[in-house]
């Protein structure tokens, strides 16, 4: 459900806006997307795990609000991000 530190560093490098950037909305969305993907795979085999389901829904809502923030402030960054992450919208 969580992601490996190597994968997290790779995502940070790929989506960072500056060399020391670790908390920009793009990086947060990329990390949340990876965690959502991992938790979705977990939920496919553990259908009755309601605690994880609640966490998954919270992560999806958090990602949605971050995406709305990016879209409001810079639509071109938003389009590039959803294209890079392969999100539907």
Taking the CA atoms of residue 16, residue 22, residue 26 and residue 28 in that order, the dihedral angle to the nearest 10 degrees is 150
Kindly state the tokens that stand for 16.
């960072």
Q: What is the pLDDT of residue 19?
A: 87
Which domains are present in the chain? 5-85 (1.10.287.10)
Residue 53 and residue 41 in contact, taking contact as beta carbons nearer than 8 Å: no
Query: 58-69, pLDDT tens digit by residue?
Result: 999 999 999 999
Whether the pTM exceeds 0.95: the reply is: no
In this prediction, residue 15 has a pLDDT band, given cuts at 50, 70 and 90, of very high
Kindly state the tokens that stand for 68.
């709305």
| Cα gap 86→89, rounded to integer Å | 10
With 90 as the cut, is the pLDDT of residue 88 above it? no
For 15-24, 28-37, 39-48, which range has the lowest pLDDT when averaged over its residues?
15-24
């Amino acid at each position: 459900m969580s992601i490996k530190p190597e994968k997290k560093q790779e995502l940070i490098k790929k989506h960072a806006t500056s060399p020391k950037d670790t908390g920009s909305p793009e990086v947060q969305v990329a990390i949340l997307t990876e965690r959502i993907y991992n938790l979705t795979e977990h939920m496919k085999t553990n259908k009755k795990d309601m605690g994880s389901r609640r966490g998954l829904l919270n992560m999806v809502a958090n990602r949605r609000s971050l995406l709305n923030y990016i879209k409001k402030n810079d639509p071109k960054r938003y389009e590039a991000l959803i294209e890079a992450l392969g999100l539907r919208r």
